[in-house]
Amino acid sequence: MQLTDREREILATIIEAYIASAAPVASRAVAKRSHLDLSPASMRNVMADLTEKGLLEQPHTSAGRVPTSEAFRVYIDTMLPRPEPSKEVQERIARVLSEAGLEIKDILRQAGRILSDQSHQVSMILAPRYGSVRWKQIEFVLVRTGLVLVVLVLEGGIIQQKLIALEEIVTADDLTKYANYLNELFSNRTVAEVRAHILRELRGARERLSDLCGRALSLVEEAFDKDGPQELYVDGTAYILRQPDFADLRAMREMFDVLDDRSKLLDILDRVMESNCLCVTLGKETPLQSGTDMGLVSSPYTIQGRSLGVISVMGPLRMDYAKVVPMVDYMARILTDILQKRLDQP
Protein backbone atom coordinates (compact mmCIF):
# COMPACT_ATOMS: atom_id res chain seq x y z
CA MET A 1 0.00 0.00 0.00
CA GLN A 2 1.36 3.38 -1.04
CA LEU A 3 1.41 6.01 1.70
CA THR A 4 2.86 9.49 1.71
CA ASP A 5 5.56 10.32 4.26
CA ARG A 6 2.99 12.40 6.15
CA GLU A 7 0.51 9.51 6.23
CA ARG A 8 3.21 7.10 7.38
CA GLU A 9 4.26 9.34 10.27
CA ILE A 10 0.70 9.97 11.39
CA LEU A 11 -0.19 6.28 11.13
CA ALA A 12 2.87 5.28 13.19
CA THR A 13 1.98 7.96 15.78
CA ILE A 14 -1.59 6.68 16.08
CA ILE A 15 -0.48 3.05 16.40
CA GLU A 16 2.10 3.86 19.09
CA ALA A 17 -0.45 5.95 21.01
CA TYR A 18 -3.00 3.15 20.74
CA ILE A 19 -0.47 0.56 21.95
CA ALA A 20 0.24 2.74 25.00
CA SER A 21 -3.36 3.64 25.88
CA ALA A 22 -5.63 0.87 24.49
CA ALA A 23 -8.06 3.72 23.72
CA PRO A 24 -9.17 5.39 20.46
CA VAL A 25 -6.78 8.15 19.46
CA ALA A 26 -8.12 11.65 18.77
CA SER A 27 -6.61 14.06 16.25
CA ARG A 28 -5.56 16.42 19.03
CA ALA A 29 -3.51 13.66 20.68
CA VAL A 30 -1.88 12.83 17.34
CA ALA A 31 -0.95 16.49 16.82
CA LYS A 32 0.73 16.60 20.22
CA ARG A 33 2.71 13.39 19.69
CA SER A 34 3.82 13.89 16.08
CA HIS A 35 6.55 16.20 14.82
CA LEU A 36 4.35 17.53 12.04
CA ASP A 37 3.23 21.14 12.12
CA LEU A 38 -0.34 20.57 10.99
CA SER A 39 -3.56 22.32 11.86
CA PRO A 40 -6.29 20.24 13.55
CA ALA A 41 -8.28 20.37 10.31
CA SER A 42 -5.35 19.06 8.24
CA MET A 43 -4.72 16.30 10.79
CA ARG A 44 -8.36 15.24 10.62
CA ASN A 45 -8.19 15.16 6.82
CA VAL A 46 -5.17 12.85 6.85
CA MET A 47 -6.86 10.60 9.40
CA ALA A 48 -9.96 10.54 7.20
CA ASP A 49 -7.80 9.45 4.24
CA LEU A 50 -6.25 6.66 6.33
CA THR A 51 -9.75 5.58 7.35
CA GLU A 52 -10.82 5.38 3.69
CA LYS A 53 -7.78 3.20 2.99
CA GLY A 54 -8.92 0.73 5.66
CA LEU A 55 -6.09 1.53 8.06
CA LEU A 56 -8.17 3.27 10.72
CA GLU A 57 -11.67 2.76 12.03
CA GLN A 58 -13.91 4.80 14.29
CA PRO A 59 -15.76 3.08 17.14
CA HIS A 60 -19.35 4.22 17.43
CA THR A 61 -18.89 5.56 20.93
CA SER A 62 -15.77 7.63 20.30
CA ALA A 63 -14.55 10.44 18.08
CA GLY A 64 -11.06 8.93 18.08
CA ARG A 65 -9.62 6.39 15.66
CA VAL A 66 -8.37 2.84 16.18
CA PRO A 67 -5.80 1.21 13.84
CA THR A 68 -6.97 -1.90 12.03
CA SER A 69 -5.03 -5.15 11.66
CA GLU A 70 -4.11 -3.93 8.13
CA ALA A 71 -2.56 -0.84 9.72
CA PHE A 72 -0.52 -2.98 12.07
CA ARG A 73 0.65 -5.05 9.10
CA VAL A 74 1.90 -1.92 7.31
CA TYR A 75 3.54 -0.68 10.52
CA ILE A 76 5.32 -3.96 11.24
CA ASP A 77 6.46 -4.57 7.67
CA THR A 78 7.71 -1.06 6.89
CA MET A 79 8.04 1.11 10.00
CA LEU A 80 8.81 -1.06 13.03
CA PRO A 81 12.09 -0.28 14.81
CA ARG A 82 13.93 -3.49 15.79
CA PRO A 83 16.61 -2.73 18.37
CA GLU A 84 18.28 -5.53 20.30
CA PRO A 85 16.78 -6.15 23.77
CA SER A 86 18.39 -4.03 26.47
CA LYS A 87 21.62 -5.23 28.04
CA GLU A 88 19.72 -5.86 31.27
CA VAL A 89 17.24 -8.16 29.51
CA GLN A 90 20.03 -9.98 27.66
CA GLU A 91 21.90 -10.57 30.94
CA ARG A 92 18.76 -11.88 32.62
CA ILE A 93 18.10 -14.27 29.75
CA ALA A 94 21.68 -15.58 29.89
CA ARG A 95 21.57 -15.96 33.67
CA VAL A 96 18.21 -17.74 33.86
CA LEU A 97 18.94 -20.13 31.01
CA SER A 98 22.37 -20.99 32.42
CA GLU A 99 20.65 -22.02 35.67
CA ALA A 100 17.87 -23.99 33.97
CA GLY A 101 19.66 -27.36 34.09
CA LEU A 102 20.79 -29.79 31.43
CA GLU A 103 17.48 -30.97 29.99
CA ILE A 104 16.18 -29.02 27.02
CA LYS A 105 12.61 -29.03 28.36
CA ASP A 106 13.74 -27.14 31.47
CA ILE A 107 15.55 -24.58 29.33
CA LEU A 108 12.47 -24.13 27.13
CA ARG A 109 10.17 -23.65 30.11
CA GLN A 110 12.48 -20.98 31.53
CA ALA A 111 12.68 -19.29 28.13
CA GLY A 112 8.88 -19.14 28.03
CA ARG A 113 8.74 -17.69 31.53
CA ILE A 114 11.21 -14.95 30.61
CA LEU A 115 9.27 -14.06 27.46
CA SER A 116 5.94 -13.78 29.27
CA ASP A 117 7.42 -11.81 32.18
CA GLN A 118 9.21 -9.35 29.90
CA SER A 119 6.37 -8.88 27.41
CA HIS A 120 3.45 -9.19 29.87
CA GLN A 121 1.81 -11.46 27.30
CA VAL A 122 1.28 -15.20 26.84
CA SER A 123 4.32 -17.15 25.69
CA MET A 124 4.26 -20.48 23.90
CA ILE A 125 7.23 -22.76 23.30
CA LEU A 126 6.90 -25.65 20.88
CA ALA A 127 9.21 -28.42 22.04
CA PRO A 128 11.54 -30.07 19.51
CA ARG A 129 10.06 -32.33 16.87
CA TYR A 130 12.44 -35.23 17.19
CA GLY A 131 11.99 -36.81 13.78
CA SER A 132 14.68 -34.65 12.16
CA VAL A 133 17.09 -34.82 15.12
CA ARG A 134 20.07 -37.16 14.93
CA TRP A 135 20.79 -40.03 17.30
CA LYS A 136 23.88 -39.66 19.48
CA GLN A 137 23.70 -42.38 22.11
CA ILE A 138 21.39 -44.75 23.93
CA GLU A 139 21.88 -46.30 27.33
CA PHE A 140 19.92 -48.96 29.22
CA VAL A 141 20.02 -48.88 33.02
CA LEU A 142 18.84 -51.90 35.00
CA VAL A 143 16.80 -50.33 37.80
CA ARG A 144 15.76 -53.67 39.24
CA THR A 145 14.74 -57.08 37.94
CA GLY A 146 12.18 -56.57 35.20
CA LEU A 147 12.51 -52.76 35.08
CA VAL A 148 14.83 -50.87 32.69
CA LEU A 149 15.41 -47.14 32.28
CA VAL A 150 16.01 -46.22 28.63
CA VAL A 151 17.99 -42.98 28.13
CA LEU A 152 18.22 -41.66 24.57
CA VAL A 153 20.57 -38.74 23.90
CA LEU A 154 19.99 -36.78 20.69
CA GLU A 155 22.00 -34.02 19.04
CA GLY A 156 21.84 -30.70 20.81
CA GLY A 157 21.85 -32.38 24.22
CA ILE A 158 18.19 -33.41 23.93
CA ILE A 159 17.44 -36.28 26.28
CA GLN A 160 14.48 -38.66 26.28
CA GLN A 161 13.94 -41.09 29.13
CA LYS A 162 11.42 -43.85 29.72
CA LEU A 163 10.96 -46.71 32.17
CA ILE A 164 9.86 -49.97 30.61
CA ALA A 165 8.88 -53.23 32.26
CA LEU A 166 10.29 -56.48 30.85
CA GLU A 167 8.84 -59.95 31.30
CA GLU A 168 12.10 -61.68 30.45
CA ILE A 169 15.15 -61.47 32.69
CA VAL A 170 18.09 -59.39 31.41
CA THR A 171 21.39 -58.59 33.06
CA ALA A 172 23.36 -55.35 33.09
CA ASP A 173 25.84 -56.98 30.70
CA ASP A 174 23.01 -57.82 28.30
CA LEU A 175 21.85 -54.19 28.34
CA THR A 176 25.36 -52.92 27.66
CA LYS A 177 25.60 -55.21 24.61
CA TYR A 178 22.21 -53.97 23.35
CA ALA A 179 23.28 -50.35 23.75
CA ASN A 180 26.59 -50.88 21.98
CA TYR A 181 24.85 -52.63 19.10
CA LEU A 182 22.24 -49.87 18.69
CA ASN A 183 24.75 -47.05 18.97
CA GLU A 184 26.82 -48.57 16.18
CA LEU A 185 23.76 -49.30 14.05
CA PHE A 186 22.07 -45.91 14.34
CA SER A 187 25.04 -43.54 14.64
CA ASN A 188 24.26 -40.20 12.94
CA ARG A 189 20.81 -41.31 11.79
CA THR A 190 17.72 -39.19 12.43
CA VAL A 191 15.03 -40.42 14.80
CA ALA A 192 12.67 -40.76 11.82
CA GLU A 193 15.19 -43.03 10.08
CA VAL A 194 15.58 -45.08 13.26
CA ARG A 195 11.82 -45.56 13.58
CA ALA A 196 11.55 -46.59 9.93
CA HIS A 197 14.36 -49.13 10.38
CA ILE A 198 12.73 -50.59 13.49
CA LEU A 199 9.34 -50.91 11.78
CA ARG A 200 10.93 -52.54 8.74
CA GLU A 201 13.08 -55.01 10.69
CA LEU A 202 10.78 -55.94 13.54
CA ARG A 203 7.46 -56.01 11.76
CA GLY A 204 8.71 -57.36 8.46
CA ALA A 205 11.29 -60.04 9.23
CA ARG A 206 11.42 -60.58 12.98
CA GLU A 207 12.23 -64.26 12.57
CA ARG A 208 15.48 -63.49 10.66
CA LEU A 209 16.96 -61.33 13.39
CA SER A 210 19.58 -62.57 15.79
CA ASP A 211 18.63 -62.67 19.47
CA LEU A 212 20.85 -59.66 20.24
CA CYS A 213 19.51 -57.60 17.35
CA GLY A 214 15.87 -58.48 17.98
CA ARG A 215 15.90 -57.79 21.69
CA ALA A 216 17.80 -54.53 21.30
CA LEU A 217 15.40 -53.23 18.65
CA SER A 218 12.41 -54.37 20.69
CA LEU A 219 13.59 -52.29 23.64
CA VAL A 220 13.83 -49.16 21.49
CA GLU A 221 10.48 -49.87 19.85
CA GLU A 222 8.76 -50.23 23.21
CA ALA A 223 10.34 -47.10 24.62
CA PHE A 224 9.96 -44.71 21.68
CA ASP A 225 7.50 -46.24 19.25
CA LYS A 226 5.00 -43.38 19.37
CA ASP A 227 5.61 -39.74 18.62
CA GLY A 228 2.74 -38.61 20.80
CA PRO A 229 1.48 -35.05 20.69
CA GLN A 230 4.21 -32.45 20.36
CA GLU A 231 4.67 -30.66 23.66
CA LEU A 232 3.60 -27.03 23.87
CA TYR A 233 4.70 -25.09 26.95
CA VAL A 234 2.38 -22.14 27.72
CA ASP A 235 3.25 -19.46 30.28
CA GLY A 236 1.84 -16.10 31.33
CA THR A 237 -1.90 -16.77 30.97
CA ALA A 238 -2.47 -14.59 34.05
CA TYR A 239 -1.41 -11.57 31.99
CA ILE A 240 -4.62 -11.96 29.97
CA LEU A 241 -6.57 -10.80 33.01
CA ARG A 242 -4.58 -7.54 33.10
CA GLN A 243 -5.21 -6.57 29.48
CA PRO A 244 -7.97 -4.00 28.87
CA ASP A 245 -8.55 -5.70 25.50
CA PHE A 246 -9.92 -8.73 27.37
CA ALA A 247 -11.70 -6.83 30.14
CA ASP A 248 -15.18 -8.12 29.35
CA LEU A 249 -16.07 -11.71 30.10
CA ARG A 250 -16.80 -12.62 26.46
CA ALA A 251 -13.39 -11.51 25.17
CA MET A 252 -11.61 -13.21 28.06
CA ARG A 253 -13.47 -16.46 27.47
CA GLU A 254 -12.62 -16.34 23.76
CA MET A 255 -8.94 -15.85 24.53
CA PHE A 256 -8.87 -18.86 26.84
CA ASP A 257 -10.77 -20.88 24.22
CA VAL A 258 -8.02 -20.01 21.73
CA LEU A 259 -5.36 -21.25 24.14
CA ASP A 260 -7.31 -24.49 24.63
CA ASP A 261 -7.45 -25.13 20.86
CA ARG A 262 -4.02 -26.77 20.69
CA SER A 263 -4.55 -28.23 17.22
CA LYS A 264 -4.92 -24.77 15.63
CA LEU A 265 -2.05 -23.35 17.67
CA LEU A 266 0.17 -26.23 16.55
CA ASP A 267 -0.93 -25.67 12.95
CA ILE A 268 0.20 -22.02 13.11
CA LEU A 269 3.51 -22.89 14.74
CA ASP A 270 4.11 -25.70 12.23
CA ARG A 271 3.88 -23.10 9.46
CA VAL A 272 6.53 -21.04 11.24
CA MET A 273 8.77 -24.13 11.38
CA GLU A 274 8.32 -24.65 7.64
CA SER A 275 9.11 -21.00 6.88
CA ASN A 276 12.26 -21.18 9.05
CA CYS A 277 12.07 -17.44 9.79
CA LEU A 278 10.50 -14.98 12.23
CA CYS A 279 6.79 -14.42 11.52
CA VAL A 280 4.26 -11.90 12.83
CA THR A 281 0.68 -13.09 12.37
CA LEU A 282 -2.13 -10.57 12.86
CA GLY A 283 -5.89 -10.70 13.33
CA LYS A 284 -7.69 -12.67 10.65
CA GLU A 285 -4.39 -13.93 9.22
CA THR A 286 -4.64 -16.66 11.87
CA PRO A 287 -7.20 -19.51 11.81
CA LEU A 288 -7.97 -18.75 15.46
CA GLN A 289 -11.61 -17.92 16.11
CA SER A 290 -11.92 -14.89 18.37
CA GLY A 291 -13.98 -11.71 18.39
CA THR A 292 -10.92 -9.81 19.60
CA ASP A 293 -8.10 -9.45 17.08
CA MET A 294 -4.80 -10.87 18.29
CA GLY A 295 -1.16 -10.78 17.33
CA LEU A 296 1.34 -13.64 17.32
CA VAL A 297 5.11 -13.17 17.10
CA SER A 298 6.92 -16.45 16.42
CA SER A 299 10.38 -17.65 15.47
CA PRO A 300 11.89 -21.11 15.06
CA TYR A 301 14.96 -22.22 16.95
CA THR A 302 17.23 -24.41 14.89
CA ILE A 303 20.14 -26.79 14.81
CA GLN A 304 22.43 -26.84 11.78
CA GLY A 305 19.84 -24.80 9.91
CA ARG A 306 16.97 -27.23 10.61
CA SER A 307 13.96 -25.97 12.56
CA LEU A 308 13.46 -27.97 15.75
CA GLY A 309 10.70 -26.02 17.47
CA VAL A 310 9.16 -22.57 17.78
CA ILE A 311 8.98 -19.83 20.40
CA SER A 312 6.05 -17.45 20.30
CA VAL A 313 4.38 -14.56 22.13
CA MET A 314 0.62 -14.03 21.77
CA GLY A 315 -1.38 -11.03 22.88
CA PRO A 316 -3.88 -8.43 21.73
CA LEU A 317 -3.46 -6.84 18.33
CA ARG A 318 -2.04 -3.70 19.99
CA MET A 319 0.91 -5.63 21.42
CA ASP A 320 4.14 -3.65 21.75
CA TYR A 321 5.79 -5.17 18.68
CA ALA A 322 8.82 -2.88 18.91
CA LYS A 323 9.63 -4.67 22.17
CA VAL A 324 8.28 -8.17 21.51
CA VAL A 325 9.66 -8.80 18.00
CA PRO A 326 13.34 -8.21 18.91
CA MET A 327 12.90 -10.20 22.13
CA VAL A 328 11.47 -13.25 20.35
CA ASP A 329 14.16 -13.03 17.67
CA TYR A 330 16.91 -12.76 20.30
CA MET A 331 15.55 -15.67 22.37
CA ALA A 332 15.37 -17.89 19.27
CA ARG A 333 19.02 -17.11 18.51
CA ILE A 334 20.04 -17.85 22.11
CA LEU A 335 18.27 -21.23 22.09
CA THR A 336 19.86 -22.04 18.74
CA ASP A 337 23.31 -21.19 20.16
CA ILE A 338 22.69 -23.40 23.22
CA LEU A 339 21.70 -26.37 21.04
CA GLN A 340 24.60 -25.81 18.64
CA LYS A 341 27.15 -25.68 21.48
CA ARG A 342 25.82 -28.96 22.84
CA LEU A 343 26.05 -30.48 19.39
CA ASP A 344 29.68 -29.37 19.10
CA GLN A 345 30.61 -31.00 22.42
CA PRO A 346 32.46 -34.30 22.00
Same domain, 246 and 336: yes
pLDDT at 289: 63
DSSP 12-26: HHHHHHHHHHSS-B-
* Domains held by the chain: number: 3
Same domain, 238 and 337: yes
How far is Cα 346 from Cα 341, in angstroms, rounded to an integer?
10
b/e code 155-183 from CB counts within 10 Å (16+ = b)? bbbbebeeebeeeeebeeebbebbbebbb
Same domain, 73 and 209: no
Full domain range(s) for residue 36:
5-78
Of the residues 208, 224, 240, the one at which a domain ends: 224
Residue 125's H or E segment, with its range, is: strand 122-126
Same domain, 145 and 206: yes
- The answer to whether 151 and 159 have CB atoms below 8 angstroms apart is yes
Q: Which of 209, 149, 140 is nearest to 173 (CA)?
A: 140
Same domain, 193 and 339: no
- The answer to whether 55 and 75 have CB atoms below 8 angstroms apart is no
Same domain, 44 and 190: no
Same domain, 254 and 328: yes
Low-confidence ranges of the chain (pLDDT < 70): 61-62, 100-102, 130, 201-229, 287-292, 343-346
Q: Which of 233, 226, 272, 297 is nearest to 105 (CA)?
A: 233
Residue 50's Cα: distance from chain center in Å?
33
pLDDT at 201: 66
- CATH code of the domain containing 214: 3.30.390.60
Same domain, 243 and 327: yes
pLDDT at 209: 43
Angle at 122 between CA 119 and CA 127, to 5 degrees: 110
Same domain, 249 and 285: yes
Count the alpha carbons within 13 Å of 49 in the hemisphere toward its beta carbon. 14
- The answer to whether 30 and 43 have CB atoms below 8 angstroms apart is yes
Of the residues 192, 224, 256, the one at which a domain ends: 224
Same domain, 59 and 208: no
Same domain, 114 and 241: yes
- CATH code of the domain containing 56: 1.10.10.10
- CATH code of the domain containing 298: 3.30.450.40
How far is Cα 64 from Cα 34, in angstroms, rounded to an integer?
16
Same domain, 96 and 163: no
- The answer to whether 10 and 34 have CB atoms below 8 angstroms apart is yes
Of the residues 181, 208, 224, the one at which a domain ends: 224
